[in-house]
């Protein structure tokens, strides 16, 4: 792997990623009644910046019950995201919403992988709230304006732009 280094991932700056149709299923678990359920998790990322193995941007997700069908929609839950990718492609991302005592952080782990000659993020995460937990692993594929997924994301009734509308992006401070 001598041809892979920190600049291998420079292409990540200003890219958009989404969950493919096959990877939409997520597992829900309710601790209060010990019940499992299937969820649909469409997540979009806009990686707005990358440098030296670090990246940042915004994540937006809609998680619904699988029995709502493919017409399910909901309000996207947006989070700031900051992550690292090692020279050999190992990935760790923190998804943060809120600040101070009301801060909520979800951590995702994964790696960069080649699928049909294109890079994908193969990721795993678990999130919990109110006694319920959602576990999800997915291949995140890149999407661009003009791609079918850009205007109609699998599993939800919306576009990449509508998922990211009003997002607040991390940025460097002055000085």
**pLDDT over 90 for what percent of the chain?**
77
CA dist 138 and 115 (Å) reads: 13
In a domain, 155, yes or no: yes
Q: Hey, how many other C-beta atoms are within 10 angstroms of the C-beta on 165?
A: 12
Structural domain boundaries enclosing 96: 6-164
- 75-117 residue pLDDT tens: 899 999 999 999 999 999 999 987 766 678 899 999 999 999 9
pTM exceeds 0.75, yes or no? yes
Contact 131, 117 (CB under 8 A): no
Which pLDDT value is given to residue 8? 86
**Count of domains for the chain:** 1
CATH code for the domain in which residue 28 is found: 2.40.128
Q: Is residue 169 part of a domain?
A: no
Structure tokens at 107: 């951590």
d(CA 90, CA 18): 19
Read off the pLDDT of each residue in 58-67 and give the average, rounded to a whole number. 92
State the DSSP string of 87-135. Answer: TT-EEEEEEEES-GGG-EEEEEEEEEEEETTEEEEEEEEEEEETTEEEE
């Amino acid at each position: 792997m001598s041809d892979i280094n920190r600049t291998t991932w420079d292409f990540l700056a200003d890219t958009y990623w989404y969950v493919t149709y096959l990877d939409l299923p997520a597992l829900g678990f309710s601790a209060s009644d010990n019940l499992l359920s299937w969820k649909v998790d469409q997540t979009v990322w806009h990686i707005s910046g990358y440098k030296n193995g670090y990246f940042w941007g915004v994540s937006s997700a809609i998680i619904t019950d699988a029995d709502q069908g493919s017409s399910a929609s909901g309000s996207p839950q947006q989070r700031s995201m900051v992550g690292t990718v090692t020279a050999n492609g190992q990935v760790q991302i923190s998804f943060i919403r809120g600040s101070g005592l009301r801060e909520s952080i979800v951590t995702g782990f994964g790696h960069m992988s080649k699928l049909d000659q294109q890079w994908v993020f193969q990721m795993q995460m678990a999130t919990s709230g109110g006694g319920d937990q959602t576990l999800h692993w997915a291949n995140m594929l890149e999407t661009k304006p003009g791609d079918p997924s850009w205007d109609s994301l699998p599993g939800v009734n919306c576009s990449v732009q509508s998922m990211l509308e009003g997002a607040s992006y991390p940025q460097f401070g002055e000085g």
